[in-house]
Structure 1
Amino acid sequence: MKVKYVLSFTICLLSFSAKAEFVGGLAYIQLGEYRVDNEINPLPLGLSLVPMIAYRGERLRVFGPNINYILIEGPVSFSLILSATGDRYKTSTLDQRDASINGGFNLRLFVLNIRYGSDLVNVYKGNTVDVNLGWRFKILKSLFFTPSLGKELLNDSYVNYYYGISDGETERFDSYSANSAVNDVYRIGVTFIESKKSSFTLNYSYKVFDDVIYDSPTIDKDSYGATSFFWSRSF
């Protein structure tokens, strides 16, 4: 039933946009290794190199698996969101942890950004909150720099699904359950606007795990970095 709600929500959003701009491009995302013997790509789509198809309307923004519908725009903004999420993981002795779809909102108050998401398809059956401080600075006419620092709040359902080990999965690891967790996340981004139709963006993020997550037998490191590169061209 919740999948139907997601589809209905998406169709409804598409019907409200009057001015459309379609964008094609390519995305490459590389994560540092932090899991114990992960047999699959941990990214929500399971791919590091992804062809990107995006859509920019008057209020609707679609960027890959992320949908954003803007209700209030400006330095103070509010939007509804749908996004793919999850830390995919699989070993021979554990059931696969899959990605999910979060639905929620994004609130921006000048330099403060608050993003809330709740599992719509009953994968991890919980919610997440991201709170960060960041701003986009114009360095040159076509060059922008975006630093941010923040906290990622994961409730106990999320933590136990992606990092816990049930009593029936103890062939290799000891059972593990945990409460909610708060990770530290630092990001920098550089965007070069080549023309009115083409741009390049390079991002780097560094995440430091809460001890609750690092203590999981499935986690090999207490932090990891991620690099992403996006090329886009509008039509």
Structure 2
Amino acid sequence: MKMKKIVLMLACLISNAVFADERGAIRAQLEPIGFLYGFGLGVNKEIYKGYDRRVIPLPIIGYRSEDLTVYGPFVSYEMLELKDIEFQVQLSPRFQGFDESDSDIFIGMDERKFSMDAGLSAKYERQNWKINLSAMHDILNKSNGYELSAQLGRAFKSGPVFFEPNISVSYLDSKHVDYYYGVGAHEAANFRPQFTGDSALNSAVGIAISTPIFFGGFTQLAIDYNWFDDSITDSPLVEDDTNISFRLLFSKFF
């Protein structure tokens, strides 16, 4: 029932965005051009048993032009633009995985490793609305899985502060779910039965708050609340079906 409501919200918001009649002026202010540097910090409340949180520090050296965006390890390049739809190729890190030191539940298990994803996206923007569709695949062959996602957001401005609430859904294939949440036969124990992951459909709501007023640079705080599919939460490694994550980014142009 909860998933149906989220899908219905997404459909209604998309229908409103499609009939908007000009590209958003706010977003143009959010995406200036040039070389930049800065830092990022991500804090993710993990859903694994005994694994409290994942903290991800990220030094940033990057560049943004009309077609190419390099933001630390996140890279995108616009291949084609048809009116208000942009088609991009993307590269992004996947900060997932664990080893035995992260929690007692992982003792005796193989390490699940960090990876990189690459793929394609289509972005539609009109009158400060943004719809983003993407298909990403693990190119380091850790999980050898893929993710399909859809996100809808809208930018608002209040003085020098920008707000962008968003909703999203993501589909993870069985290879991805099994790699990060499965328990192999050789890893099974009395407290951790064997488990084979199946494909999952997750959902999230979030908000990003951005401003150029601090230290002559650009600051963004993003907060996301995520719901996980039963295909993930049924895993013996998992104790929560929701989590919250925070991302703080600061960048400044040279």
Q: TM-score by structure 1 length?
A: 0.83
- In the alignment, does 2:35 pair up with 1:22? yes
1:196–1:71 distance in 2 versus 1, CA, 3 Å: farther
Equivalent pair of 1:102/1:118 in contact (CA under 8 Å): yes
- 2:251 is aligned, of 227, 232, 235, to 232
Q: Give the Cα–Cα distance (whole angstroms) in 2 for the partners of residues 196 and 51 of structure 1.
A: 17
Q: Which runs of 5+ in 1 are unaligned?
A: 1-19
- 1:35 is aligned, of 19, 38, 48, to 48
Equivalent pair of 1:38/1:89 in contact (CA under 8 Å): no
The structure with more helix, counted as a fraction of residues:
2
The equivalent residue for 1:52 is 60
The equivalent residue for 1:156 is 174
Q: How does 1:157-176 map to 2 (within 5 A)?
A: 157-171=175-189, 172-176=191-195
- 2:123 is aligned, of 79, 103, 108, to 108
Q: Give the Cα–Cα distance (whole angstroms) in 2 for the partners of residues 101 and 77 of structure 1.
A: 23
Q: 2:179 aligns to what SS in structure 1?
A: helix
- 2:232 is aligned, of 210, 213, 218, to 213
The equivalent residue for 1:145 is 163
Q: Give the Cα–Cα distance (whole angstroms) in 2 for the partners of residues 155 and 176 of structure 1.
A: 15
Q: How does 1:66-105 map to 2 (within 5 A)?
A: 66-72=74-80, 75-90=84-99, 91-105=106-120
Aligned length: 210
| Aligned-residue RMSD, C-alpha | 2.1
The equivalent residue for 1:131 is 150
Q: 2:140 aligns to what SS in structure 1?
A: coil
- In the alignment, does 2:69 pair up with 1:61? yes
The equivalent residue for 1:222 is 241
Amino acid at match of 2:65: G
> CA offset at residue 139 of structure 1?
2.4
Q: Give the Cα–Cα distance (whole angstroms) in 1 for the partners of residues 89 and 76 of structure 2.
A: 6
The equivalent residue for 1:12 is none
Q: Give the Cα–Cα distance (whole angstroms) in 1 for the partners of residues 179 and 56 of structure 2.
A: 23
> CA offset at residue 86 of structure 1?
4.6
Equivalent pair of 1:191/1:201 in contact (CA under 8 Å): yes
> CA offset at residue 75 of structure 1?
3.7
> CA offset at residue 188 of structure 1?
0.3
Deviations 1:48-82 (A, max 9, x none): 22221121134211112111001235742111101
Amino acid at match of 2:62: A
Amino acid at match of 1:117: M
Residue identity over aligned pairs, in percent, reads: 26
Q: Give the Cα–Cα distance (whole angstroms) in 1 for the partners of residues 184 and 220 of structure 2.
A: 40
Q: Which runs of 5+ in 2 are unaligned?
A: 1-32, 100-105
Q: 2:232 aligns to what SS in structure 1?
A: helix
Equivalent pair of 1:118/1:126 in contact (CA under 8 Å): yes
Q: 1:48 aligns to what SS in structure 2?
A: strand
> CA offset at residue 196 of structure 1?
11
